[in-house]
Each structure stands twice: as C-alpha cells, then as structure tokens.
Structure 1
Amino acid sequence: MRYWLMKSEPDTYSIDDLKRDCVGHWDGVRNYQARNYMRDQMHIGDLILFYHSNAKPPGVVGIAKVCKEAYPDHTAQDPNSKYFDSKASDEDPRWMMVDIEYVTKFPRIVSLDEMRDLPSLAEMVLLKK
C-alpha cells in the first residue's frame, strides 16, 4: 500500500463533498507526472492525504482511499468541460482519473510545515521540495 497526496480547492471539491458523495472521481488532472503516477502506480486500497489548496490555511484535511484504478478521464473529451483536450480521443485518451472513497475528516487541518517536522515523513518526496 502506498500513500498519496491529492489536492483540491475546497470551493471546487472539498473533503465534505467527498464525505457526502462517499466516492468521487478524481478527474481534471492535466499534469503528465501526476497522470503517470495515477496510471502506473496508484492501486486499490492506497491511502490518500486529502489536501485543501488555496485555502486559509492550506493543509491536509482528511484521508481517502483509491477504490478504482486509473481509467480514461471523460472530461478530456467533453467540449463543455474546462478540462477539455482537443487531442484526446477514445484511441488515445491522454488523461486518466481514479475513483477515491471517503475514509475520515481530521478534527483540524495539518499543515505541510507540520508534516515536514515529522521524522516519519522525512522521505516523502512532496515534502522535500
């Protein structure tokens, strides 16, 4: 099992939205490295640190888990979506998404600075940046 950090702006899709929905599609990822991680390395049962970005304060607000492995992101082929990619097709979808399931919401936000101070997370790639 691996641990991943996924970020979302709370006014777009929050941990409370995921709690309400129980399962959510993690669509709209338009970064090749993130897509490759989702496609090649994320597996059912992997845990996700759910991070609220562009929030005051930003930080990890809960835990989710991968419940469906990578599959083509349908928003890439929807001309009405802000994630539309004219180069995506059924034969070459270009972009992938995973489904995630709500696990828990933290009683408080955990900042990246707090996470950097934890020796157990010293090797987390994201925290080395």
Structure 2
Amino acid sequence: MNYWLMKSEPDDVSVDDALAAPNSTVAWTGVRNFQARNFMRNEMKIGDGVLFYHSSCAEPGIVGIARVVSESYPDPTQFDPKSRYYDAASKRDHPRWMLVDVQVTRKIPNITLAEMRQRPELAEMRVLRKGNRLSITPVDKEHWDALTKGTA
C-alpha cells in the first residue's frame, strides 16, 4: 500500500463536499502538473491511503483521511472548453491528463501546516520541503502513521 497527500482548494472541493458526494467519493479533477499526473497514472492503486489537504485557504492543513477507489482514467475536464481545466492540446484518443476517484473515510480536526512543521518526526515530509508546490505528494508510512494515529 502507498500513501499520498492530495491538496484541494476548499472553494473547489472541500472535505465536506467530498463527504456529501455519493459514497463520499469525488473525481480528483484539474491536476495539470505532469509529476502529479504521473503519480496518479503510474503509482496510485485502489486502496492507497490519502491525506486530504486543504490548500490556498486561511489555515492550510490535513482535514480528512481518504483512500483511492479507482484506477486512473482520463480527466473529462481537459476536453470541456467551458472548464477552467480545458486543454486544447489534449485529444480524446490521446488524453494528457488523468485522475483517480478518492473516497473520504473520515473528517479530522485540521492538522495545520504550522503544526506539522513543529513535529520533528515529520521534518522530512515532502509537503514541508521548501519550494514544494505539488498538489500530490507521496507520504512515507512512518509519516502516515504519525499523522493518522488517534484520528480513528
């Protein structure tokens, strides 16, 4: 099993939006970074753990625990000219952008970015590295365990 941190702007899709969706599941649309896309396309597997992270908000942080519930498939927003994620260069027979479905299993009290930075056991977490802007990052098992312990 792999573990991931996936960032979502709460104005787009919040943990509450995901919980309110059918089966508490949302398609992770709009990823337009090749490395993040490659994580979804090549490495994510059904059952992988996800830290649901709110970004671009007053208090960025981990707000939910989720899991990957689909294999990757083409992101339909890339083909929709009305979508802000439209990509004219992407073709249906050769899609550029992929997504996975993510199911939130529980909401947790926000573990803020500031709180994570204060925890020595999380010092090597990719999301805490200077200059990291990726919307999807791998999470080591020891970091997953440290962050999810006591959140059940």
Q: Normalising by the residue count of structure 2, what TM-score does the alignment of the two structures yield?
A: 0.78
Deviation of 1:115 after TM superposition, in Å, equals 2.4
Consecutive unaligned residues in structure 1, runs of 5 or more: none
| Residues 1-129 of structure 1: pairs in structure 2 closer than 5 A | 1-21=1-21, 22-106=24-108, 108-116=109-117, 117-119=119-121, 121-129=122-130
Task: Show structure 1 runs of 4+ deviating over 6 A.
Answer: none
How far apart are the structure 2 equivalents of 1:102 and 1:126?
A: 20
Note the alpha carbon deviations across 1:80-113, whole angstroms, 9 max, x for none.
111110011122100001001111000x210123
SS of aligned partner of 2:101 = strand
C-alpha separation in 1, matches of 2:113 and 2:46: 25
The CA deviation string for residues 45-70 of structure 1, in whole angstroms up to 9 with x for no partner, is 11111111122211110111100011
Q: How many residues align?
A: 127
**Larger proportion of strand:** 1
Q: Secondary structure at the match of 2:72?
A: strand
Alpha-carbon distance between aligned partners in 2 of 1:97 and 1:88, rounded to the nearest angstrom: 14
